[in-house]
Structure 1
């Protein structure tokens, strides 16, 4: 035999080893398919039983904030230095977290009532507040409410109303800070929204479109239960005058738990759509070679993989969460895609060969291809699990395990189904009735009904008696689409359009919006979502009151220390995040203490010694107007010096995520320069704004390097591996850029989908590239067309099936599921276009060519595949001169 003149890369050894292993494996499954049906099914069923231990995590803080978030350390500092007893000295401003609460946003229901500041509306608000406070299950409100000075804490609006109702109804107060009848200064900025003012007296309100009342609770189990049950109680409140929407400290967590239940009917719809599409796409007029039944069985493998994954991970203690509920849609799409690859590879085998030989050839081509994509899918999700967002970690853990289970079931369970189906086809049995039938060419004497509904195949009495026809879609690709795509003018046009696509994607990336809004964790039609909409509409003028802590002892009576802190306060006030937010922008005990000392002692703090200043400070903190500051000063054990203190800055007009992030980072920078620590409970969620982009870029970078290594090891040419990585990068760029035009932010949800980009990009790109490399043809154009002929149709089937699999999510009333659909749709669309359009053109321009001998027919005449007259069926029947020589030997 002649020496083969094939110039292969040394790395081809891994590729050839895989082909050799799967060739033997395919033949083994063909001989003994039964164990490959029974064992994988039983194992998957046993693993699925672990779902009885499933635990769903619903904490929004745990799932959607970075585990290494800076604000969590800042909260620990606050909790260590400043303790507050919610049964004695509660103050909502000084909470280390969001606390336990029930909040109600109220608007007038009747069109004629345009303001809450009128007697009818305020009377209803008072009735609503009493309705809440009178609820007594499981305990009376007085036993679960947060307490200050022996009384349940009221927010500023309720405190003002209860102190002097007639004065309020006459609008005889200032805004946003007013003085109550008891002499307390009350901040109303968080209680009244949508305001209009008198032009000559800006602090006097003409109207307010909305009001918010707040009920603060103790942090106990009884309070938690009361909070849960009072929502049902509120459904019994009926009013023709006001409309209200509630929110509680557990509302988002409750909504997140409901999302998983909402996903169950969507999975059913997805499964139905997939089954329908698989059956239709595998139908042929040939009733022996058609494969609707095997297609239905093919959907079983990813379904079992999903069940086994959830059961296995639940059994070993891995939490489930609502984001993971999107995983079945994805795995069903991946599994069906693999099934199409296997079926198409089988269709390209020769019917005259034995079942063992056909399964050998099927697995040589298909199993290697799906092995590459399964490995890269698994690694892509495994890499995604190193992120600092637990929701992303859990999704990636579940999905990576499901990818492996699906792969195992595809090459065992579905391979066995294929072996049985191959035996049926070899016996020329009908795909539905299983009866032996005649080929169409041999059924002329039969009835018309028989010829249409029963005939098919190419064998009669075990002998080939007819030609095997290719699927219509494959013919169209081979004879029309492929040759058209490799024409020079078409290539130029595609490259121009591709350059425009890259430019638009880059522009979109510059407009990326980061962060996940809390309302997007709730269903669109839920009270919680509407509450947050009203919050954003009416209550953005006055934002957070951010805490600044001095955590080390300093001499506060020293004018240098005072000057440094005042300088920090001035820097903070002069930012765009404070401005003219309120007449009382700063809540700082030292300012009031210095005024108190001047008024009561007639001297400045710097002119007295430390002991006298400390004595006056204790007197100051016992004054009724200044008791609140007791929570802002941490003394040493004998109360002779100050260990730590804090003050608060009122922000305003934080209308979007960019402003929230900018405020947090700016305040932190200013605080660091002056030896302070900036903190607010909302910072724990704002930390996602600073973490999501670095985490996304990190995952993409690591994944691209990993994909490159895997591709180089398995695909027999380094250039192909680099082309695949560049294609993945192009798809990622397009998804991130285009999703900005579709109202999808870069957050922990879309981060998951960007990780998906890598897996799906490999699926689309690796199949075509691999087919290009193993093609028997000579020129780049010929190999590109051959790759499209071999795998173009299953790629189309995979793209459509995956889209149908996730299509039900598009109609979900939840941002999480809709965002998943949007980004996955972009991934599939861009991946499909890269695999079916861009990559074939690129490979036809710069792809590697093997120095193989030309494809010839039996007479030794070279066969051309370019041009409209290319016949794929004919090309499949012949081989290269090299193959013919091998056969002769």
Structure 2
């Protein structure tokens, strides 16, 4: 013999016995762990608590990584918030918003904490897959922060705080609402799946995203207005003290490095009052004009064709199923156990339990013959060892009494059966029968089980086939209410459910996303292209995840559902910016859409990738799968949002199809008359010094020139 399998059956009922059995399993594990290495025998083991224990290890290992993820996001957000004085490398401590960026990340953490508390209060069960939810929500929750901060920067600094906040929310409201609705709805759709683990994850995530949005509209929005007020007064973004204006060349180096801050130009329409960060300037003045060139459009079309071909190839090789070994940490003691099962025992001899829940009256000889025939049928399938692999108390009893020359009569059957089953306290058949009492006091078997040997179930496809074969045989005996079971059935059922559930959830999610797009984007043709983009992104996620070694299972299913929401996020932002542009020229529309929203979209995507990057080296397939699928969903979504979709819109959605949008979104800016009529001077200047201060500001080497050109978007 190359290997042998020892099975120890433990009692888990009632509750006190359950606890004792659990303690025995843990003690047994510790004893085997302490067993010295043997040069001749390799020992592998597994018990009923192994999978829960290993999943808990996965979850526990994520706590320090979430702290790292939080710090990475804070650092990235702070870095993105830094603005420099025009014409220098000095930080503009008035326009920079590091504390506001940190508050944006904390805002997402507040949403996560509130959702976790609410789910626990409502009695929603927790599973260990939920442990990866904070990584996702804390990243997605910062997307709206970038959109809101970018919207504030597009308003004129010469306007009042109230007007700036009004313009900011008018500009960012639809984009923020699209992000929140699409993400929340995509996970809401995930709750209709029949896989409980996916349901629970989607409930927690949907609630966390919703709570984060509520905090963004209240807590974070209030902080934005507060920091905008400090900006109006020329105060330092960290210390809230008055800053040194750029005109003061006599300031010390320390003051210029740590305290320099720009001031608003008194003319509301002046270009210096709408500060573009370097990323937005790149998209507006470099990337967008290059993207609309005919040669680049053709190249983008070729790239898209290659992308679709590779995605289809990946989808044609799609693999299904989450194997038990993939739920374990790479250094788990149970991995050798599964490898040995796969190598030896799943090829021949794996036990299958067959339970007859509604036992017939075994005093009837015809019923006994039918039970014997049924047992033979189960033992004769493609994946059965044969009659020699059957382990049945019923057949052993007949063999025992025949050996001793005892005839089993109809009236004496149950008495003889009880004597055989309970012949000793250690009888292996006690656990195979359930006894009841008839009204006349006769004890009878109400249900029983027998075991057959299986063969050739080493692959997931063979396991699925075996499940169907044995359940089909069981369906031939409806009166017996037969249940077939082995531990692998828990996974083969998942294999069968993943594809139909994924298709169902994606179709429903896409329908919801389409409805949201048609309601919030005031142009049907653009909404159609958003829908096209959703389908294209999902195709890419499915194809590329297969090429990256990821199966279609419950973990990747979560991310596919999520990718529907993400694909709408990135696409709808650009489509909305394209629609609300006041220009009739598609090239100008693309320039304005990418200039206003391209950089915030990139920031949102990068923040998500950075947040989950700490999961890349976790020694667990489940966590790495989550990392891979999130990275694919975000990367492919960004590729469509900033490359393919702008090209499609500029070609197929021309000026004749666009609804005039003079009063939509951020282009319906407040007219210049809303600005304060008095010149804005440094707060510490007296009114008499205003003109001199204005002249000094205009001639400062660190300030924008008064001759700088600007686009007048007022109408």
What interval of TM-score do these two structures reach, taking the shorter chain for normalisation?
0.7 to 0.9
- Give me the whole-angstrom Cα distance separating, in 2, the residues matched to 1:640 and 1:421: 81
For 1:505 and 1:636, the matched residues in 2 are separated by: 63
User: Of residues 639, 659, 671 in structure 2, which corresponds to 1:850?
Assistant: 659
Shift of 1:329: 0.8
* Cα drift, residue 510 of structure 1: 3.5
Q: Say whether 1:727 aligns with 2:525.
A: no
Structure 1 position 264 matched with structure 2 position 63: yes
Match of 2:360 among 553, 557, 571: 553
3-state DSSP of counterpart to 1:810? coil
**CA–CA distance in structure 2, aligned partners of residues 560 and 261 of structure 1:** 54
Select which of 429, 453, 456 maps to 1:653. Answer: 456
Superposition CA RMSD, Å: 3.7
* Residue in structure 2 matched with residue 308 of structure 1 by the alignment: 114
Gaps of 5+ in 1: 1-204, 856-872, 885-889
**How many matched pairs?**
648
What displacement does 1:724 show?
A: 2.0
Unaligned runs of 5+ in 2: 86-91, 668-706
In 1: Cα distance, 2:250 partner to 2:444 partner: 110
User: What per-residue deviation string (whole Å, max 9, x for no partner) do you get for residues 155-190 of structure 1?
Assistant: xxxxxxxxxxxxxxxxxxxxxxxxxxxxxxxxxxxx
In 2, distance between residues paired with 1:805 and 1:570? 55
Q: Deviations over 1:746-804 (max 9, x none)?
A: 22222222221122122211211111111122122321222111100011111111111
Per the normalisation by structure 1, the TM-score is: 0.66
Q: In the alignment, is the contact (CA less than 8 A) between 2:119 and 2:204 conserved in 1?
A: yes
Distance 1:753 1:484, change over 3 A: same
- The change in CA–CA distance for 1:599 and 1:843 in structure 2 (over 3 A counts) is same
CA distance 1:334–1:618, change in 2 (3 Å): closer
Deviation at 1:827, TM superposition (A): 0.8
- The structure 1 residue matched to 2:337, chosen from 516, 531, 554, is 531
The corresponding residue for 1:467 is 272
CA distance in 2, matches of 1:563, 1:460: 95
Cα distance in structure 2, aligned partners of 1:247 and 1:615: 38
How far did residue 428 of structure 1 move?
Answer: 2.8
SS at match of 1:544: strand
Distance 2:503 2:168 in 1: 38
**Contact map agreement 1:784 1:840 (CA 8 A) in 2:** yes
Secondary structure in 1 matching 2:321: coil
Aligned counterparts, 1:249-260, within 5 A: 249-260=48-59
Q: Distance in 2 between matches of 1:621 and 1:296?
A: 69
Measure how far apart 1:387 and its partner are. Answer: 2.0
Quickly say closer, same or farther: Cα 1:424–1:877, change in 2 above 3 A.
farther
- 1:346 equivalent in structure 2: 152
2: CA distance between counterparts of 1:298 and 1:784? 29
**Residue 645 of structure 2 is aligned with which of 811, 822, 839?**
839
Provide, for residues 304-361 of structure 1, a one-character-per-residue CA deviation record: whole Å limited to 9, x for no partner: 1112222232233333322111111111111211111111111111222222211111
Residue 489, structure 1, aligned to residue 295, structure 2 = yes
2:466 is aligned with 1:666: no
C-alpha distance in 2 between matches for 1:420 and 1:365: 18
- Out of 221, 228, 233, the residue aligned to residue 26 of structure 2 is 228
CA distance in 2, matches of 1:636, 1:447: 98
Structure 2 equivalent of residue 120 of structure 1: none
Q: Matched residues in 1 for 2:402 and 2:144: separation?
A: 81
Mapping of residues 205-216 of structure 1, within 5 Å: 205=1, 208=2, 210-216=3-9
CA contact (8 A) 1:716 1:773 kept: yes
* Aligned with 1:327 (options 118, 133, 136): 133
The answer on whether the counterparts of 2:236 and 2:259 sit within 8 Å (CA) in structure 1 is: yes
In structure 2, C-alpha distance between the alignment counterparts of 1:249 and 1:473, rounded to whole Å: 54
Could you say what secondary structure the match of 1:766 adopts? helix
The answer as to whether partners of 1:611 and 1:640 remain within 8 angstroms in 2 is no
Q: Is the aligned partner of 1:819 residue 2:618?
A: no
Alpha-carbon deviation of 1:225? 2.2
Q: Residues 158 and 267 of structure 2 are in contact (CA less than 8 Å); yes or no, is this contact kept in structure 1?
A: no
- Per the TM alignment, residue 635 of structure 1 is displaced from its structure 2 partner at its CA by 9.0
Whether the aligned pair in 2 keeps the contact of 1:564 and 1:674 (CA below 8 Å) is: no
For 1:247, which of 34, 38, 46 is the aligned residue? 46
Matched, 1:218 2:25: no
Q: Which residue is equivalent to 1:282?
A: 81
- 1:465-614, aligned counterparts within 5 Å? 467-468=272-273, 469-548=275-354, 551=358, 553=360, 566=373, 569=376, 573-575=380-382, 577-578=383-384, 581=385, 584-587=388-391
Cα distance, 1:401–1:538 mapped onto 2, change above 3 Å: same
Shift in Å, 1:568: 7.9
Question: Could you tell me how far apart the structure 1 residues matched to 2:376 and 2:135 are?
Answer: 52
Corresponding position of 1:146 = none
Q: C-alpha separation between the residues in 2 aligned to 1:843 and 1:272?
A: 38
Q: Do the aligned partners of 2:470 and 2:484 also contact (CA within 8 Å) in 1?
A: no
User: Partners in 1 of 2:269 and 2:523 — Cα distance?
Assistant: 39
Q: Which stretch has the larger CA shift, 227-236 or 696-705?
A: 227-236
Kept in 1, the 8 Å contact 2:189–2:505? The answer is yes
- The worse-fitting range, judged by mean Cα deviation, of 587-596 and 513-522 is 587-596
Equivalent-residue separation in structure 1 for 2:367 and 2:126 (angstroms): 54
Distance in 1 separating the partners of 2:214 and 2:434:
62
CA separation of 1:712 and 1:617: change in aligned 2, threshold 3 A: same
SS at 2:234's partner residue?
coil
Which among 775, 790, 793 is matched to residue 581 of structure 2?
775
Any conservation in 1 of the 2:381–2:469 contact (CA below 8 Å)?
no
Cα separation, 2, equivalents of 1:565 and 1:778: 82
Kindly tell me: are residues 821 and 590 of structure 1, through their superposed partners in 2, closer, same or farther at Cα, counting changes over 3 Å?
same
Residues 245-283 of structure 1: per-residue CA shift (max 9 Å, x gap): 442211222222333322210111001111111122222
Out of 764, 774, 787, the residue aligned to residue 593 of structure 2 is: 787
Structure 2 residue aligned with 1:422: 228
Q: 1:874 to 1:774 in 2, by over 3 A?
A: farther
CA contact (8 A) 2:363 2:411 kept: no
Measure, in 2, the Cα distance between the counterparts of 1:394 and 1:643: 36
Q: CA deviation at 1:566?
A: 4.4
Counterpart in the other structure of 1:752: 558
- Counterpart contact for 1:540–1:654, Cα < 8 Å: yes
**Residue 237 (str. 1) matches residue 10 (str. 2):** no
Q: C-alpha deviations, 1:672-724, integer Å up to 9, x for none?
A: 24557350142244321222222222211211111222222222123333322
Q: What does residue 75 of structure 1 align with? A: none
Q: Which residue does the alignment assign to 2:712?
A: 878
Q: Could you list the per-position Cα deviations for residues 795-845 of structure 1 after superposition, in whole angstroms to 9, with x for gaps in the alignment?
A: 111111111111111121222221211111111111111111111112112
